[in-house]
Amino acid sequence: MLKGKHIILGICGGIAAYKSATLLRLLVKAGAEVQVVITPAGKEFITPVTLSALSGKPVVSEFFSANTGEWHSHVDLGLWADAMVIAPATASSIAKMAHGVADNMLITTYLSAKAPVFVAPAMDLDMMAHPSTVANLELLRSYGCHIIEPAEGELASHLVGKGRMEEPEKIFDVLDDFFTPKDLAGRRVLITAGPTRERIDPVRYISNYSSGKMGYAIALEAARRGADVTLVSGPVSIGIDHPRVRVVSVESAREMLDASMAAWPESDVAVMCAAVADYAPASAADSKIKREHQDVPVLHLVKNPDIAATLGQCKRPGQILVGFALETDHEIDNAAEKIRRKGLDAIVLNSLRDAGAGFGVDTNKVTIIAADGTSTPYPLKPKAAVAADIIDYITTKN
């Protein structure tokens, strides 16, 4: 979402300035054009050479270039920007911003900026808690600035408390989220993800290789676009951190069915991404099956409930149900048959024959097939980009 966006990165004189290089790198990697404006004190903590190398632009700090006498127009910069982010923002710069003390290039640029301004404070815990800082931040909030609250942790002073500048990745996410269209605002999305585990005894289970990456990527994308997401997840080793995602952790297909059915009546969309085990042991042993006590045990399996099909049977008009199909052969025919059998509106097909698609990897290559048989193929992409394609498909086709 930041591709082509003009971002002013303001850097003040604090130890957290070293993290600004990472933030700058993330912004540039995402395709943003970044102009660094640094205070004189900021240059004591990180060099303009580092910042200009990373941004590909000379760093602006003074009103005039010492060599050429060229005037750096804070007004032009303020108009150029799509957003301004000040990270780290020190107590003194926050105070100057709050009271219009325009004694350096960064503050004049801030006062001239027409674009939204994001402020990531960084200071010692007592400075952060001081009533003047609290009041100044409140003033900035009242002017419409977005304050990216500092985290708690060990500070440069070795004291522990609130004042650590938020991590560059988090600041990046705030900006990215700001520019992401909220076309799913007010919608509720249910997603199943990961494998299920079917218990044999207290130490053994039947499962599969699903990593949950695809489902988690869809959950994050739906949340970024404004949806309230319920993510019903089997056991995975990945996490998700978004205020609009509620994770319901389950283990077996039965538990996944119950959690999904609880969320489905209130949902507008469901994307069934989980690799549900097709079979479960008819009964799980209460204690560990011991090797020496018996011959080779025979596992009696029973069919698991089909979660997607169960949701399909009680689908209300207007609800959208999307499934996944991981196939190895007769892909299109098998996928079309699953649409019918499970009452889906569309199915996302990935073939294990495509390199880079399927379990565990960070990429996927999908074709989306609609209930009317139309199919939309997509090239191999990172799973986050595939997730965006799937959400685009759902929002544009419905």
Positions marked active-site: 208
Question: Cα dist. 130→222, 296, 379 in Å?
Answer: 39, 70, 54
**Residue 307 contacts residue 256 (beta carbons within 8 Å):** yes
Minimum distance from residue 383 beta carbon to ligand CTP (Å) = 16
Question: Of residues 276, 357, 366, 387, which one binds ligand CTP by CB under 6 A?
Answer: 276
Residue type, 131: P
Between residues 20 and 304, which has the closer beta carbon with respect to ligand CTP? 304
Question: Of residues 12, 191, 308, 366, which one binds ligand CTP by CB under 6 A?
Answer: 308
Segment interacting with ligand CTP (CB under 6 A) among 95-103, 217-225, 317-325, 374-382: 317-325
Q: Report if residue 338 touches ligand CTP, rule: CB under 6 A.
A: yes
**Residue 18 contacts residue 160 (beta carbons within 8 Å):** no
Question: Of residues 24, 206, 274, 394, which one binds ligand CTP by CB under 6 A?
Answer: 274
Segment interacting with ligand CTP (CB under 6 A) among 134-142, 153-161, 304-312, 384-392: 304-312
Q: Report if residue 253 touches ligand CTP, rule: CB under 6 A.
A: yes
Q: Report if residue 304 touches ligand CTP, rule: CB under 6 A.
A: yes
Q: Report if residue 191 touches ligand CTP, rule: CB under 6 A.
A: no
Which residue has 């007769």 as its token pair? 330
Q: Report if residue 366 touches ligand CTP, rule: CB under 6 A.
A: no
Tokens matching residue 287: 């204690």
Minimum distance from residue 222 beta carbon to ligand CTP (Å) = 16
Q: Report if residue 325 touches ligand CTP, rule: CB under 6 A.
A: yes
Question: Of residues 195, 323, 331, 358, which one binds ligand CTP by CB under 6 A?
Answer: 323
Q: Report if residue 173 touches ligand CTP, rule: CB under 6 A.
A: no
- Return the biggest CA–CA distance within the chain: 90
Q: What is the dihedral of CA 208, 214, 215, 219, to 10 degrees?
A: 160
Tokens matching residue 270: 């469901």
Beta-bridge partners for 272: 192, 323
Between residues 284 and 289, which has the closer beta carbon with respect to ligand CTP? 284
Minimum distance from residue 224 beta carbon to ligand CTP (Å) = 22
Q: Report if residue 198 touches ligand CTP, rule: CB under 6 A.
A: no
Tokens matching residue 364: 């996927």
Q: Report if residue 272 touches ligand CTP, rule: CB under 6 A.
A: yes
Distance between start and end Cα atoms, the chain? 23
Instruction: Kindly report each contact of residues 370-379 with a partner whose C-beta sits within 8 Å and lies 24 or more positions away, as own/partner.
Output: 370/345, 370/346, 370/397, 371/339, 371/344, 371/345, 371/346, 373/336, 375/332
Minimum distance from residue 248 beta carbon to ligand CTP (Å) = 15
What region does 151 belong to: left with phi over 0, alpha with psi -120 to 50, or beta? Answer: beta
> For residue 310, what is the enclosing H or E element?
helix 307-313
Interface residues toward ligand CTP, by CB under 6 A: 192, 253, 272, 274, 276, 278, 304, 306-308, 323-326, 338, 342
